[in-house]
Chains A and B, each alone.
Chain A
Amino acid sequence: MFPLSHLICMLLGISFTVWFTLLLVFIIVPAIFGVSFGIRRLYMKSLIKLFEWATLRMERGAKEKNQHLYKPYSNGIIAKEPVSLEQEIQDMRRGGAEPEFDMSDIFYFCRRGVESIVDDEVTKRFTAEELESWNLLTRSNYNFHHISTRLTALWGVGVLIRYGFLLPLRVTLAFTGVGLLVVLTSIVGLFPNGRMKNYLSDKVHLMCYRICVRALTAIITYHDSENKPKNGGICVANHTSPIDVIILASDGCYAMVGQVHGGLMGVIQRAMVKACPHIWFERSEVKDRHLVAKRLSDHVADKSKLPILIFPEGTCINNTSVMMFKKGSFEIGCTVYPVAIKYDPRFGDAFWNSSKFGMVNYLLHMMSSWAIVCSVWYLPPMSRMEGEDAVQFANRVKAAIARKGGLADLLWDGGLKRGKVKEVFKEEQQKLYSKVLVGSSEDGSSS
């Protein structure tokens, strides 16, 4: 062998060793013990300064070239007036003898209809949020022309760092985390049931999730940890992406609920359930609501089992709003621990647009963003009150989560991402209008 290739081999070997030692010391060991060196926060602060500079530079560049800078419509395209149907129609009635029907009634429906074409509350929740400042990712930029060499160079360096350094690092960590999870939970599963097993299972789960958190460079701030969910309860949270699970589970131990998958997911699921009871449903069982409710209530009744983690929206929403909560989890009748999760969109968009991207694509996007920054608020526990039905309880919890996270509280069903809206809502509108028509003839002069 030539001495040159010898040298290269040695260099590679040394760099690998250094690499892995650094990885171990700075990332994996802190993950095991749940401490942090603060490296990620420092990283986050420097990124913010960088983005602000980049945005200013772009605005200046656009002004110099007299081009228009596209500003996202974060304040809305139009200003809507929240006037009800009855109010509007009464306003339109021209005094004097009240006719039952007026040809101008159509104006209300017409205007409302066109307003919803220009800007509606629902469809914009299923695509990524638009940003005010640029975060050096071309995927979120609408103004990317060549504004200045410095900016383009910076973007280029950004690409190199993200794809050349951060991505491989994160992928390594992800594999480590998942691998350790599968192996260690299987080992813990060999222990006899008891306090020792539960203790070990908790530690193992926490450690592996923490490694995964570092694999995404997620910088999470937990608020109000005194309200953390306890055994025998259900934890509900708003849903933006599959990462929500990792974020919550790295700070507390939960029993997961989900459908049984095949492939890698299935392997992970089978391993996890060896260490502590999670609730996995077969595809056929998911349709049977009674069966689902029974399994959930059985789990909750057993105080030695961990709190269940559920996302009642049923689908991923883009983190600007909270949509309708499905009432299933609120019928069980135990304490509900609401949690609000809000992502900071400046560092990387966490929303999973499942109609546009598959899971692998999505994970790659996540791992090549700068970071995932989010805040988690643990809200005080809630229970169903006297005379409140499951739907009202669900709406109450939803309102609390929306308020805490600064999200819009919507009554619309997240299922509208893929499905059509129910006819009954149109019928409600028709009924309202009929009342205005017929009602005015019944009570004569009163308006």
Chain B
Amino acid sequence: MGSRASSLLREEDIEEIKKQTGFSHSQITRLYSRFHSLDKGENGALSREDFQRIPELAINPLGDRIINAFFPEGEDQVNFRGFMRTLAHFRPVEDNEKNKDPTSGEPLNSRTNKLFFAFRLYDLDRDDKISRDELLQVLRMMVGVNISDEQLGSIADRTIQEADTNGDMCISFSEFTKVLEKVDVEQKMSIRFLH
């Protein structure tokens, strides 16, 4: 039967997470309850297996890449803070935040940060550029066995050609941003959290 999930989260922690991520108090407690229900080992942290237990995520072609985005470099466990930090990228951008004072640091759910999250999904080795090889690998994940190597290769070549402005045959983050400047990133990379 249910365990007292929310009582394990202290008020100070909730306040800190609220400041860092911008989620409301009730959203944080609900997400903590969700975190807790995913944490089958009950050790306060999620492992990759915990994520893979979600069927809808397991059948997502980019499931593994998304799971990877939650884990910092070289680590196997993500705690609640890290979980919330990653989820914060998907908070919708509220109007009153657009006028926020830039010296307080960019909010996690800004357009740039959302784009960077997506960039990281392509950038497998985290060297801040997307090589042809990396693009091919991600494309292969998305299409499975349904498209031939040659066709996929030409798709990758074309994409790099269109995006690459400095001729290094890789896509950097600024080139990535330029290519997507007309896309409504704020809407496409936001989840409607209920209050």
Partners in one complex: yes
Q: Which of B59, B63, B139 has the most CB of A within 10 A?
A: B59
Contacting residues, chain A, for B189 (C-beta < 8 A): 107, 110-111
- Bound CA–CA A145/B90 (angstroms): 33
Q: Are B30 and A73 in contact (CB under 8 A)?
A: yes
Q: Assuming the A-B contacts A107-B185, A123-B37, A139-B2, are A114 and B56 also in contact, with contact meaning beta carbons closer than 8 angstroms in the complex?
A: no
In the complex formed, the residue of A with least CB distance to B138 is: A106
User: Which among B94-102, B104-112, B143-151 touches the partner chain?
Assistant: B143-151
Q: Is B20 in contact with chain A by the CB < 8 A criterion?
A: no
Contacting residues, chain B, for A73 (C-beta < 8 A): 30, 33, 194
Q: Are B1 and A128 in contact (CB under 8 A)?
A: yes
58-94 of chain B: CB within 8 A of chain A: 58-63, 66, 87, 90
Q: Assuming the A-B contacts A73-B33, A110-B62, are A437 and B55 also in contact, with contact meaning beta carbons closer than 8 angstroms in the complex?
A: no
Q: Are A107 and B188 in contact (CB under 8 A)?
A: yes
Q: Assuming the A-B contacts A122-B55, A429-B60, are A128 and B146 also in contact, with contact meaning beta carbons closer than 8 angstroms in the complex?
A: no
**Number of B residues, CB within 8 Å of A:** 64
Q: Assuming the A-B contacts A68-B25, A77-B27, A365-B1, are A122 and B183 also in contact, with contact meaning beta carbons closer than 8 angstroms in the complex?
A: no
Q: Are B54 and A122 in contact (CB under 8 A)?
A: yes
User: Which among A94-102, A293-301, A379-387 touches the partner chain?
Assistant: A94-102
Give, as a whole number of angstroms, the nearest-CB distance from B176 to chain A: 7
Contacting residues, chain A, for B1 (C-beta < 8 A): 128, 139-140, 349, 353, 365
> 1/0 per residue B1-18: CB within 8 Å of A?
110111100000000000
One of B25, B37, B61, B146 near A124 (C-beta < 8 A): B37
Q: Are B192 and A79 in contact (CB under 8 A)?
A: yes
Contacting residues, chain A, for B188 (C-beta < 8 A): 92, 104, 107-108, 111
Contacting residues, chain B, for A111 (C-beta < 8 A): 90, 188-191
**Number of A residues, CB within 8 Å of B:** 67
Q: Are B60 and A109 in contact (CB under 8 A)?
A: yes
How many A-B pairs have beta carbons closer than 8 Å: the answer is 186
**Which secondary structure characterizes the binding site on chain B?**
helix
Q: Are A429 and B59 in contact (CB under 8 A)?
A: yes
Contacting residues, chain A, for B34 (C-beta < 8 A): 77, 118-119
Q: Assuming the A-B contacts A77-B193, A103-B176, A120-B57, are A142 and B5 also in contact, with contact meaning beta carbons closer than 8 angstroms in the complex?
A: yes
Give, as a whole number of angstroms, the nearest-CB distance from A95 to chain B: 9
Q: Which of A107, A124, A139, A428 has the most CB of B within 10 A?
A: A107
Q: Assuming the A-B contacts A70-B6, A110-B62, A434-B143, are A101 and B159 also in contact, with contact meaning beta carbons closer than 8 angstroms in the complex?
A: yes
Q: Are A116 and B56 in contact (CB under 8 A)?
A: yes
Contacting residues, chain B, for A122 (C-beta < 8 A): 54-56
- Bound CA–CA A72/B26 (angstroms): 10
- Bound CA–CA A349/B1 (angstroms): 8
Give, as a whole number of angstroms, the nearest-CB distance from A247 to chain B: 20
One of A114, A431, A438 near B87 (C-beta < 8 A): A114
Contacting residues, chain A, for B66 (C-beta < 8 A): 109-110, 113-114, 117
One of A100, A106, A113, A127 near B155 (C-beta < 8 A): A100
Q: Is B116 in contact with chain A by the CB < 8 A criterion?
A: no
One of B55, B122, B194 near A416 (C-beta < 8 A): B55
- Bound CA–CA A40/B4 (angstroms): 31
Q: Assuming the A-B contacts A94-B183, A127-B2, are A78 and B61 also in contact, with contact meaning beta carbons closer than 8 angstroms in the complex?
A: no
Give, as a whole number of angstroms, the nearest-CB distance from A279 to chain B: 32
- Bound CA–CA A78/B191 (angstroms): 7
Q: Are A430 and B158 in contact (CB under 8 A)?
A: no
Q: Assuming the A-B contacts A77-B194, A117-B51, A421-B59, are A101 and B139 also in contact, with contact meaning beta carbons closer than 8 angstroms in the complex?
A: yes
Q: Assuming the A-B contacts A77-B31, A103-B176, A111-B191, are A430 and B146 also in contact, with contact meaning beta carbons closer than 8 angstroms in the complex?
A: yes
Q: Are A144 and B4 in contact (CB under 8 A)?
A: yes
One of A78, A112, A412 near B55 (C-beta < 8 A): A412
In the complex formed, the residue of A with least CB distance to B182 is: A94
Q: Is A105 in contact with chain B by the CB < 8 A criterion?
A: yes
111-169 of chain B: CB within 8 A of chain A: 117-118, 121-122, 138-139, 142-147, 151, 155, 158-159, 162-163
- Bound CA–CA A202/B56 (angstroms): 46
Q: Are A109 and B2 in contact (CB under 8 A)?
A: no
Q: Are A421 and B55 in contact (CB under 8 A)?
A: yes
Give, as a whole number of angstroms, the nearest-CB distance from B107 to chain A: 17
- What are 22 residue pairs bridging A and B, where the CB atoms are less than 8 Å apart in the complex? A71-B26, A77-B30, A78-B194, A94-B182, A99-B158, A103-B159, A103-B176, A103-B180, A104-B188, A105-B142, A109-B62, A111-B190, A113-B66, A117-B51, A117-B57, A119-B34, A127-B2, A139-B2, A349-B1, A426-B144, A429-B60, A438-B147
**Beyond A106-B121, A116-B54, 7 extra complex contacts between A and B, CB < 8 Å:** A68-B29, A104-B180, A112-B56, A127-B37, A142-B7, A142-B33, A433-B143
Interface residues of A (CB under 8 A from B): 68, 70-73, 75-80, 92, 94, 99-101, 103-124, 127-128, 130, 139-145, 349, 353, 365, 412, 416, 420-421, 425-431, 433-435, 437-438
A-B complex: 9 closest residue pairs judged by Cβ atoms: A430-B144, A434-B146, A116-B56, A113-B66, A425-B59, A139-B1, A107-B188, A421-B55, A79-B192
